[in-house]
Homo-oligomer: A and B are copies of this chain.
Amino acid sequence: MKAGRLFIISAPSGAGKTTLLQMVMPRMERLVFSVSHTTRSPRPGEKDGADYFFISRTVFEEMRDRGAFLEWAEVHGKFYGTGRQEVFAWLEAGVDVILDIDVQGAAIIRDSGLADAAFIFISPPGLAELERRLRGRAQDAEETILLRLKNAEMEMQAIGNYDYLIVNERLEEAARVLEAIILAERAKMRRLPSGLPAQQQGGL
The verdict on A57 contacting chain B, using a C-beta distance below 8 Å, is no
**A200 to chain B: closest residue by CB:** B159
Complex CA–CA separation, A106 to B196 (angstroms): 19
- Cβ < 8 Å to B, chain A residues 146-162: 156, 159-160, 162
The verdict on A51 contacting chain B, using a C-beta distance below 8 Å, is no
Complex CA–CA separation, A180 to B188 (angstroms): 11
Assess the B189–A164 pair: CB atoms within 8 A: yes
Question: How often does this chain occur in the complex, in copies?
Answer: 2
Q: Which residues of B contact A123 (CB under 8 A)?
A: 204
- Cβ < 8 Å to B, chain A residues 175-192: 176-177, 179-189, 191
Complex CA–CA separation, A191 to B166 (angstroms): 16
Complex CA–CA separation, A204 to B33 (angstroms): 28
Cβ contacts A96-137/B at 8 Å (1 or 0 each): 000000000000000000000000000101110000000000
- Number of residues on chain A facing chain B (CB within 8 A): 34
Closest chain B CB from A23 CB (angstroms): 15
Assess the B196–A187 pair: CB atoms within 8 A: no
Closest chain B CB from A196 CB (angstroms): 7
Complex CA–CA separation, A196 to B176 (angstroms): 26
Assess the A184–B204 pair: CB atoms within 8 A: no
Given contacts A176-B183, A180-B179, A184-B184, contact A204 B156 (CB under 8 A): yes
- Cβ < 8 Å to B, chain A residues 22-60: none
Assess the A164–B184 pair: CB atoms within 8 A: yes
Q: Which residues of B contact A159 (CB under 8 A)?
A: 189, 197, 199-200, 204
Q: Give the 6 A-B residue pairs with the shortest CB-CB distance, closest first.
A: A184-B184, A180-B183, A180-B180, A160-B197, A181-B184, A164-B187
